[in-house]
Amino acid sequence: MKGVVITVKSNSVSKGTIRKVLEYIKKYWVLLGLSVLFAAVTVVLTLYAPILIGDAVDEIIGKGNVDFEALKKIIAEIVIVVAITAAAQWVMNTCNNRITYQVVKDIRSKAFQKLEILPLKYIDSHQYGDLISRVIADVDQFSDGLLMGFTQFFTGVMTIIGTLFIMLFINYKIALVVILLTPLSLFVANFVAKKTYSMFHLQSITRGEITALIDEMVGNQKVVKAFGYEDQAMERVEEVNERLRKCGLRATFFSSVTNPSTRFINGLVYTGVGLVGAISVMSGGLSVGKLTSFLSYANQYTKPFNEISGVVTELQNALASAARVFELIDEPPQAPDAPDARRLEEADGTVGLENVYFSYQPHRPLIEDLNLSVRPGQRVAIVGPTGCGKTTIINLLMRFYDVDRGRICVSGTDIRDITRKSLRENYGMVLQETWLKTGTIRENITFGKPDATEEEVVAAAKASHAHSFIKRLPNGYDTLISEDGGSLSQGQKQLLCITRVMLCLPPMLILDEATSSIDTRTEIRIQKAFAKMMQGRTSFIVAHRLSTIQEADVILVMRDGKIIEQGTHEELLQKKGFYAELYNSQFAV
């Protein structure tokens, strides 16, 4: 990844992202209105306080000229104003918090919902860690920037406008000094905003990259240690981490320039007001109290520029993170079910592949002109060398991928005219790679049939020979396990996956190396259970160990995406073709 240059069109990306953010905020227009209302109340009262302070100063100018009665009234009024301002700020912040976290909740839910309907092609072609980073880390970054924006942006803008009007009312000549120096702050803030967006975007991308790499290394730690890959893994992490450090430093540097730059300009404004105001006081055009108020307003006027410049920097970071989340949300979902797609209630077991063509990448053909006819209840074994297309056929049968040309029919109907959910409900699938979720043993078994009774669960476990080891667990079927199975062996995890299918007993079965992690003795018993389960059910069996498929009704021998031989075990051995070579290579003495 060294030397990779990522360019970002900040203006167009920012505008598009802002538009999408506003669409999410629009749902909470009542809270937004309340926030703006109380922001206005806060600003008005904050601007009124310097007037009271100026009046108080005028009441104590000169020896023996202190009007204590008037001063008490002013102080009481100041206390009331401060109290109401604090209450208004609290309500405003509460509204802003609620808006921010509701919007973040909606975006994160939308992102996860999109993950659920994205085609597997997209999931397979992206690093899992990067997808996780978008849904978790990038959304968190966005929420931080959005909250700061709501908290400071409205009040900042209103304060600038309000103080400007009051200063013009008090003394327009001094106010002109402030107005003339204002564009410098705007120029600095705009310059920094343009610089920081692309850098924060690159930082978000690199953060996703390192999340993906660490997820990959942690998830495969046994392999890393088994092959002594620790040093290389560390080098990869160091390389990505160094790039993250560099782009993070650049983004932080430009964002940190904002505050001192605007503070310097604000100092110029304050100095200008002080000099011109002092001259006006000496000439009698302005009272000391009014100058005090004016200096307060000048300070209040310039302070929001510091805050807004900080907000702009945070918003650039937030928008850069939001852009990555919206990229995920805007990804086209998998092709929806046809409007007239019917629900497949219970398949009769007939499966047909007619002139099927499919490839994962357009320039690399895999399956070409594949034809297959499977009768109800037939046991079909699929064998062949690695990469010949065995698992691809399973992906097509389950409609994880759609064929490029041709069609696949179940019960005489093109599967594209059947709802995906009902199609998959008619298949029971056990893969070589086990999948468990965090929960109890029972919850993992009943994943496909949540309403199963205790008797059904135990019967399925006994059929799969999992009952004995489950009863030895600390809490039996109520034992909690993590997604990696905890202390369960690979074979025990696979037995749970087999139990899951035996509980549902769908009309069609897919067994992709279903007993690869089970000892020989248990495998023999499982094969007997499978044989009983497969009676009357169409079954597709993918296997490398040819001893497990000798009883199949038909064996398909695949090579380079094509069926090159077809027949029973004995017929294929008699042909002395590719299947016979595979078989003899496994059992030759």
**Hey, where are the domains in the chain?**
11-329, 436-505
Query: Measured between alpha carbons, how far is residue 392 from residues 366, 378, 396, 560, 582 in Å?
Result: 9, 20, 6, 12, 20
What residues contact residue 307 under an 8 Å CB cut-off, 6+ apart? 152, 156
Q: What is the pLDDT along the chain (589 residues), one digit of tens a residue?
A: 333 333 334 444 467 788 888 888 888 889 888 888 888 888 888 877 777 777 777 667 655 566 677 778 888 888 888 899 899 889 988 888 888 888 888 988 998 888 888 888 888 777 777 888 888 888 888 887 777 777 677 777 777 788 778 777 777 777 777 777 767 766 766 666 666 767 777 887 888 788 888 877 877 776 777 777 888 888 888 888 888 888 888 877 777 776 677 777 777 777 777 777 777 777 766 666 677 777 777 777 767 766 666 666 677 778 878 888 888 888 888 888 888 888 988 888 899 989 988 888 878 888 888 888 888 888 888 888 877 778 888 889 988 888 889 999 999 899 999 998 889 888 888 877 778 888 889 998 998 888 889 999 999 898 888 898 899 988 899 988 887 777 788 778 888 888 888 888 888 988 887 666 667 776 777 777 777 778 888 989 887 767 667 778 888 888 877 888 888 888 888 888 888 888 777 665 4
Burial 339-357 (b: 16+ CB within 10 A, else e): eebeebeebbbbbbbbebe
Please state whether the predicted TM-score (pTM) of the whole model is above 0.75.
no
Cα dihedral 223→225→227→233 (10° resolution): 90
Q: Where are the alpha helices (DSSP H) in 118-171?
A: 120-124, 128-133, 139-170
Q: In what order do the strands lie in the sheet with 508-512?
A: 427-430, 508-512, 538-542, 379-383, 554-559, 562-567
- Rounded to whole angstroms, how far apart are CA atoms 426 and 417? 15
Q: Which residues pair with 562 in a beta bridge?
A: 559
Query: Measured between alpha carbons, how far is residue 531 from residues 380, 496, 498, 519, 525 in Å?
Result: 13, 18, 13, 18, 10
* Domain 436-505 CATH (choose: 3.40.50.1470, 3.40.50.300, 3.40.50.720, 2.60.450.10): 3.40.50.300
CA geometry: angle 300, 305, 311, nearest 5 deg: 125
User: Which is the CATH superfamily of the domain at 11-329?
Assistant: ABC transporter type 1, transmembrane domain (1.20.1560.10)
The pLDDT tens digits of the residues spanning 151-197 come to 677 777 777 788 778 777 777 777 777 777 767 766 766 666 666 76
Q: Judge whether 11-329 and 436-505 match in fold.
A: no
> What is the SS3 assignment for 363?
coil
The pLDDT tens digits of the residues spanning 58-116 come to 667 655 566 677 778 888 888 888 899 899 889 988 888 888 888 888 988 998 888 88
The whole-angstrom distance between residue 2's C-alpha and the CA centroid of its chain comes to 26
Determine contact, residues 78/52, Cβ cutoff 8 Å.
Answer: yes
